Amino acid sequence: MRSPRWIRRTHLFRRDEYICSVCGASADAPWRECPSCGAQMRNVKYDPSWVDEAEDLSSILDDDW
């Protein structure tokens, strides 16, 4: 079993969120312990989800003049 960690999800227009790899709970900061399941966190893994948000925004704003 892997050690518990936070998965950091970065967004374009809102704060980063941290997702527990054990229970899936969301937190506003990478706490040492998950407030939902109590898992002792070891590190943070980066998830570049903001890239998908940027592509969606780009497709909305794209003008074909």
Q: Is the pLDDT of residue 57 over 90?
A: no
Query: Can you give the residue ranges of every domain in the chain?
Result: 6-61
Residue with tokens 């790899």: 21
Q: Is the pLDDT of residue 11 over 80?
A: no
Average pLDDT of the residues in 29-35 = 94
Q: Is the pLDDT of residue 34 over 70?
A: yes
In contact, 26 and 34? CB cutoff 8 Å? no
CA 5, CA 16: separation in Å to the nearest integer?
15
Secondary structure tally for the chain: helices H, strands E: 1, 4
Greater model confidence, 2 or 36 = 36
Q: Coil, strand or helix: which one is 19?
A: strand
- Prediction pTM value: 0.68
CA 7, CA 53: separation in Å to the nearest integer?
17
Q: Is the pLDDT of residue 53 over 50?
A: yes
